[in-house]
Structure 1
Amino acid sequence: MSDAGEARGRSGQLRAKAQELNEAAERSTDADEKRRLRDKARRLQAQSEQEGKLDDRGMDPL
């Protein structure tokens, strides 16, 4: 797989993990746990978007 393909795969994995965390937050009954899960999901989503932008420009993030 090319470097760009690997980065796209990674950003997709980050988005999937963020979705899983959001779903877990929805199921959680503990307010602190819910907030922690949502915060982590937000960070992963932002990281995914950053990597996606780098992919679009064809830049190597390293």
Structure 2
Amino acid sequence: MRHMNGNGPVDERHERHVREMREKARALEAEAERSDDPEERRRLRRQARQAEFDCEQESMMAAGDIYPTP
């Protein structure tokens, strides 16, 4: 999916970055599922949620839905 800002390769790099962030979040969640240690599981799930949140924020900023605060 290309954004309307006309930046072409920049959009592709951004989309790839967002995709990688989502993959990282999924990997963290999968690692949490495999963990036998409850504290480690909580830590990994917290990291997965943060990675997904960061991904959504970047995606919305790129789409122009939200703007970063100064």
Q: TM-score, normalised by structure 1?
A: 0.85
Q: What number of residue pairs does the alignment pair up?
A: 59
Q: Does 1:4 align with 2:3?
A: no
Structure-2 residue corresponding to 1:40: 47
Post-superposition CA distance 1:16-51 (Å, at most 9, x none)? 000000001011010010000000001100010011
Could you tell me which runs of 5 or more consecutive residues in structure 2 were left unpaired when the two chains were aligned: 1-7
Q: Does 1:22 align with 2:38?
A: no
RCO greater where, 1 or 2, for CA within 8 Å and sep 6 or more? 1
Corresponding residue to 1:49 among 41, 56, 62: 56
CA RMSD of aligned residues (A): 1.8
Bigger radius of gyration, 1 or 2? 2
Provide runs of 4+ in structure 1 moved above 4 Å. none
